[in-house]
Amino acid sequence: MDEPTPLTAEDFASDQTVKWCPGCGDYSVLKQVQSVLPTLGLRREEIVFVSGIGCSSRFPYYMNTYGMHSIHGRAPAVATGLKTTRPELSVWVITGDGDGLSIGGNHLIHLFRRNSDVNVLLFNNEIYGLTKGQLSPTSRPGLHTQSSPLGSVSKPFNAAGLALGAGAGFVARTLDRNPKHLREVLRQAHRHPGTSFVEIYQNCPVFNDGAFKAFTDKQTQATHALYAEMGKPLRFGEKSERGIRLEGLRPQVVSITDCTADELWIHDSRDKVKAQLLAQYFEDESELPQVFGVLYKEERPTYEALIAEQRRQVMAQRGTGKLDDLLRGTDGWTVT
Ligand code: SF4
Ligand code: MG
């Protein structure tokens, strides 16, 4: 029998015209997802993209896979139901900072604690794009928007920190403008058996241009972005001349000439306390860089595996039963 022809990125692109604004970071994420999928050994009919509402939620239209453009903020609930009943499918949630953290914040945190084997890609552009530029839960203090003309006064969510706090077993942060890093994070998210949360800093050139410029601009990226790799010291700078050392739980920037290699913080993505530090701490500390990479990885049973096991045990005790008997129940009554 002939071997099936290997799929390419083009095989995963649908015939729909992509309708995002010119220069939108969403194009890069779409391209990287379409590039990575052929390397995962899946057939198109085994993959489902579920989205909510927002610019990024147009994503399923552009994929030549199964997909569902669901309701605002509810993609995690739809994906959990799908994965529970069809665990053999590769299920991906596409959401944004508004869809995933505001309208759908509740659904997202419950996906994390349940641990369905679903990959969540959260396009974080720190703004509502589709509705023309209002504050989102990740907008930074002082940001002038349609709904905060005098500047935002609210503290934003740290999406990665929120996911860790809600029990996500895989938490990563990456950028639209670092395609290689994004592809590697996507591969790791797919491999992780449980909910994988990938926060993607995504530039919205129309309503919040340059929000992540410090991490992508050639002049500043080396000193503002640190790429954490498992088992390696946290280092950054033009020539990797700076590192992070922990004083108790307090990170300090050091010159690597001023300390020995084993004094530096070695990234261990199994350590949840340190993952919280990586996700949260750096944001308020101007001297410290923002951290990208897989911050945390922990394997535990998935929701669908636990449900299947529970069902198997109950059926072993009580048999398969009949739907009609189930619907009638055992404690019905007659109204006279
Ligand atoms: Fe992209 Fe912003 Fe346009 Fe939405 S509004 S498509 S996020 S550039
Ligand atoms: Mg947004």
If you take atom 2 of ligand 1, which residue's CA is the nearest one?
204
Tokens standing for residue 24: 């939108």
Q: Is the CB of 55 under 6 A from ligand 1?
A: yes
Other C-beta atoms within 10 Å of 241: how many? 13
> Candidates 17, 19, 26, 123: which one to mutate for ligand 1, based on the most atoms within 8 Å of Cβ?
26
> Could you tell me the distance, in angstroms and rounded to a whole number, from the CA of residue 128 to the centre of ligand 2?
4
Q: Is the CB of 261 under 6 A from ligand 1?
A: no
d(CA 199, CA 32): 14
Ligand number nearest CA of 20 is 1
Q: Hey, where are the domains in the chain?
A: 9-211
Q: Are 169 and 270 in contact (CB under 8 A)?
A: no
Q: How far apart are the first and last CA of the chain?
A: 68
| CATH architecture of the domain covering 9-211 | 3-Layer(aba) Sandwich (3.40)
The whole-angstrom distance between residue 289's C-alpha and the CA centroid of its chain comes to 20
pTM comes to 0.95
Cα dist. 285→124, 273, 277 in Å? 21, 18, 12
Q: At what angle do helices 303-318 and 75-85 cross, to 10 degrees?
A: 50
- Those residues whose C-beta lies under 8 Å from the C-beta of residue 281, and which sit 6 or more positions away, are 251, 288
Q: Is the CB of 30 under 6 A from ligand 1?
A: no
Other C-beta atoms within 10 Å of 3: how many? 5
> Could you tell me the distance, in angstroms and rounded to a whole number, from the CA of residue 210 to the centre of ligand 2?
14
Query: Which residue type does 174 have?
Result: T
Q: Is the CB of 205 under 6 A from ligand 1?
A: yes
From the alpha carbon of 207, which atom of ligand 1 is closest?
2
> Candidates 28, 145, 207: which one to mutate for ligand 1, based on the most atoms within 8 Å of Cβ?
207
Q: Is the CB of 76 under 6 A from ligand 1?
A: no
pLDDT per residue, tens digit, the chain (336 aa), is 667 789 999 999 999 999 999 999 999 999 999 999 999 999 999 999 999 999 999 999 999 999 999 999 999 999 999 999 999 999 999 999 999 999 999 999 999 999 999 999 999 999 999 999 999 999 999 999 999 999 999 999 999 999 999 999 999 999 999 999 999 999 999 999 999 999 999 999 999 999 999 999 999 999 999 999 999 999 999 999 999 999 998 999 999 998 888 899 999 999 999 999 999 877 666 689 999 999 999 999 999 999 999 999 999 999 998 999 888 888 888 898
> Candidates 20, 128, 146: which one to mutate for ligand 1, based on the most atoms within 8 Å of Cβ?
20
- Those residues whose C-beta lies under 8 Å from the C-beta of residue 160, and which sit 6 or more positions away, are 171, 172, 173, 197, 199, 279, 280, 295
Q: Facing residues of 208 across strands? A: 204
If you take atom 6 of ligand 1, which residue's CA is the nearest one?
20
